[in-house]
Structure 1
């Protein structure tokens, strides 16, 4: 939460000065085809007055064209601005420059022509095809169905002017980018080239600076470096401190944790490798029950039950292996020492797999009964049943 609060403080602290510094940044009527507008020009409605020099106001029309309004010649479309050479190229929005040229004047504006050329306009009462021999083309935007308007350079007029043509005007206009002897319909769509002397920002622009006013009260010019895009340097330092240091601490913590885990794992691995022989030696051997051989099992005493089914232990009436009650005439076998009785078939199969008593788990291997004692026991149990 402290980091978030610091970032919010830095954002709101440094955003406003950046916006104030960018109010005179370049603006566009058409960012794709239109020129960038900055000092000495300003775009009305987007730049405050202090962003432009007096007389250099531009505007946008409903077609997103950049418009320059000359006080005595009307509106022109701005096609290009060269801030280093201090040159601006303008054209007629209606693509009929000759119509405006008849009343063209730069008076009252800070601009002047790079150089000028004089033209003479003629109004001819017949159609234009009659004048092809004069190597001229008509100004179609000024011509009508019954007359043709021609414009010729005043410096190279033909010696004989057609009788049907009479002079209507002499004009002096800024030279076009492409100058020819006659003003053709193609040339009528070319730009006019204007220039300005004041304010003089050429040296500043050539050195990569941005020209503008030094203060808010006087028209004194200054040259500054282009503003840095994004946050100012102090804001960047604040963000680096606010985010970089906690991030660095987190990385250090993760590195320490990983190093500790690796070290602990390595220690356990070495410990296991060192103690493995000791652990193996100290383990107790696994004791497995091994069955008895046939002669040993056959040596265990047998008993044939009489009608009373009585055994030396009154509670031994059921075989612990098959859980069936003993019946008369069944043959039982007992295990020496513990004297537990079982069906002979049941205990024989058991002892082949396990050498211990199924009831008390004692091993009878060391207690070997003799055949005589077995016969004696069998006889005694049978005799007692007859009495």
Structure 2
């Protein structure tokens, strides 16, 4: 009897594992499913595609991306070269890029978006000046990668800055920069190192994203775009988190039930006869999981993500709990000690059930302090 029960138990465990793992495997192997160059890199889906690993129908013409040797996401602009992709907002149809060699101002001197599907969200005109090394009349922010041992290069977009620099320095270029700041905010001095903020008008997939649907071609014979239902993107992130937690609890309950039955049917009397009706087995629930109260969670460091989407952890663009990309304006919260970041709502729900970090499983190491947003 015990052998038969053990076989039944093994069957249920295998069946349960396959049932839960099959949809995940099917999704990950689909040729046009969302992918990335690295778990910490941006999510790549239509209209973008990874040129060397996904078929052409997976992306719109001009939206090819690639992965470099360090698993960074790369966008190549015709005539302007390769740029690293810092973030993509599919809802607002915006992409943030920067120079992989850390000299974005030098790339701006030859930037040409006319042959690409992209344009600047907000373009601002900057004047570049070449000044002697000893020029320190005003506190200015130099462009280090364009400066040399005998000269320093500065950039300004303000009338006052142009007046000051024109009096003692040589004007070397006028460039249009896809900035992150509103166009009416003049900048007295900038090193022009912030990400370039670009957008695209065609294809128009923002409406699909706002409805939680997937954007794609209507057919392989045309470039007409339609919205399709997307199981992954159509479910709100909180709902996906709840489903995941529910599945874990169901799995734990099933395992406890099965092994409780195995323990019951496997018990024998001293005569070696299975003991069925004379003994009852009580399967105790697992010990209560430590959790945090709302006031403690609220005291954890909280920030609001800015337009540059830069976090203390480089390359962290996706919430590890809901697997959604961070967007400007999202409130984020970090775990004291390990400094791992999450959506504030996601980590709040997690910590109300489990008082450890979802990534490293460490509890808070010290009393946190609230950071200004």
Asked if 1:137 corresponds to 2:141, the answer is yes
Alpha-carbon separation, structure 1, partners of 2:223 and 2:62: 13
Asked if 1:174 corresponds to 2:181, the answer is no
Contact 1:177 1:193 in 2 (8 A): no
Q: Per the alignment, in what secondary structure is the counterpart of residue 131 of structure 1? A: coil
Asked if 1:51 corresponds to 2:58, the answer is yes
5+ residue gaps, structure 1, are 230-253, 263-387
Q: Deviations over 1:195-220 (max 9, x none)?
A: 11111111111111111112222222
Asked if 1:100 corresponds to 2:104, the answer is no
Partner of 2:71: 64
Once the 2 structures are TM-superposed, how far is the Cα of residue 161 of structure 1 from its aligned partner?
3.6
2:39 corresponds to which of 6, 31, 34: 31
Alpha-carbon separation, structure 1, partners of 2:28 and 2:89: 26
Aligned pairs, how many?
225
Q: Deviations over 1:163-209 (max 9, x none)?
A: 54111111112113586513433xx3311100111111111111111
Considering only CA atoms, is the larger Rg found in Structure 1 or Structure 2? 1
RMSD: 3.5
5+ residue gaps, structure 2, are 1-10, 234-239, 241-264, 266-273, 279-373
Matches within 5 A, 1:277-288: none
Contact 2:127 2:155 in 1 (8 A): yes
Residue 177 to residue 154, structure 1, CA distance change in 2 (3 Å): closer
Alpha-carbon separation, structure 2, partners of 1:205 and 1:226: 12
Partner of 1:223: 228
Partner of 1:122: 129
Task: Extract structure 1 runs of 4+ deviating beyond 6 A.
Answer: none
Once the 2 structures are TM-superposed, how far is the Cα of residue 18 of structure 1 from its aligned partner?
4.3
Alpha-carbon separation, structure 2, partners of 1:183 and 1:160: 11
Residue 96 to residue 183, structure 1, CA distance change in 2 (3 Å): farther
Alpha-carbon separation, structure 2, partners of 1:20 and 1:37: 13
Taking structure 2 as the reference length, the TM-score comes to 0.53
Q: Per the alignment, in what secondary structure is the counterpart of residue 176 of structure 2? A: strand
- Greater relative contact order structure (CA < 8 Å, 6+ sep): 2
Alpha-carbon separation, structure 1, partners of 2:206 and 2:214: 10
Alpha-carbon separation, structure 2, partners of 1:50 and 1:198: 16
Q: Deviations over 1:127-184 (max 9, x none)?
A: 1x52342x42211110000111111116444434455411111111211358651343
1:159 corresponds to which of 160, 163, 169: 163
Taking structure 1 as the reference length, the TM-score comes to 0.51
Q: Per the alignment, in what secondary structure is the counterpart of residue 119 of structure 1? A: strand
Contact 2:122 2:180 in 1 (8 A): no
Task: Determine which structure has the larger helix proportion and give its number.
Answer: 1
Contact 1:118 1:170 in 2 (8 A): yes
